[in-house]
Amino acid sequence: MRFPPAWRNAFAIAALAPALTIASGLEASHGLGAVPVQAGTADPQMGLTPQERADILKGGIIVRDLPNPARPGKTFEALGSFPGGLDEAYAVITDYRRYPEFMPRVERVAVRDVNATTSIVEIRLAFPLGQSRQYRLEYRAARSGEGFEISWEKLPWPGLPPGQTVKDTSGRWLVRRAGASGVLAAYLVYSDPGPVPLGLTGTAQALSKRGLADVIERTRRRIRELFPPDKR
């Protein structure tokens, strides 16, 4: 079955945000706003209830839609846990050059500039039906004794046609120590793909939410592969 060109573009755009697992109180400066926290939660940094936290530490993944009425795009967040410690998680998430080896849809990565806390990275994503999108991101990393945060925002890319990219995207990883159980990870992404054909908005959102869970699972698997328990 062949889809019309507009439909193909819509499906490709819908998958863009979750494919980028690249990422603090830095989120406010990037326009993401604060992550909503429910009253009485056991973990105010993640906004988790005690039961949710217990489920995540057993391997569960939670995906939620975050309200962001001031912006035209959608904001989603996925929460899960990683094996090992903070150093292992940090090493995998900041290894941008190797994203094509394990991140969903990432076909090619070029790291243009790196210093102690900031990286400029160009990413190309591949999709079915010959579709692709690319963009330039600035990643900022901040570490503390309890964990780390990696945020990103889209940068201008002179000469790149609008039809080959998205209108806007930004987000962050928030990773915190969870005692002997490993670490808790929250991956938040905001995406405004631009116009989506009428009737496909709900499909785009559903694809985005499924993709976020895949980001957590693939990152978890990568940590296990590179840092098996007997080598930690």
Q: List CB contacts of 165: < 8 A, sequence separation 6 or more.
A: 133, 134, 135, 157
Which tens digit of pLDDT belongs to each residue from 21-70? 333 222 322 333 333 333 233 354 577 888 999 999 999 999 988 887 77
In the chain, what are the domain boundaries? 5-231
Which tens digit of pLDDT belongs to each residue from 163-179? 888 788 899 999 999 87
CA distances from 94 to 56, 125, 178, 199 (A): 23, 18, 20, 37
Is pLDDT of 99 > 90? Answer: yes
Listed residue (116, 126, 97) closest to 22, CA to CA:
97
Higher model confidence: residue 84 or residue 180? Answer: 84
Q: List CB contacts of 153: < 8 A, sequence separation 6 or more.
A: 30, 137, 138, 169, 170
Can you read off the two tokens belonging to residue 84? Answer: 């090992």
Higher model confidence: residue 145 or residue 181? Answer: 145
Which tens digit of pLDDT belongs to each residue from 115-165? 889 999 999 988 777 778 888 999 999 999 889 999 999 999 999 988 888
**Beta strand ranges found along 104-218 (DSSP E):** 106-114, 118-126, 132-144, 147-155, 168-177, 183-192
For domain 5-231, the question of CATH label 3.30.530.20 is answered with yes
pLDDT score at 41: 33
**Beta strand ranges found along 73-146 (DSSP E):** 74-82, 106-114, 118-126, 132-144
Does pTM top 0.85 for this prediction? no
Give CA torsion, residues 52, 57, 59, 60, to 10 deg.
Answer: 10
Q: What is the 3-state secondary structure (H, E, C) of 28-73?
A: HHHCCCCCCCCCCCCECCCCECHHHHHHHHCCCCEEEEECCCCCCC
pLDDT score at 96: 96
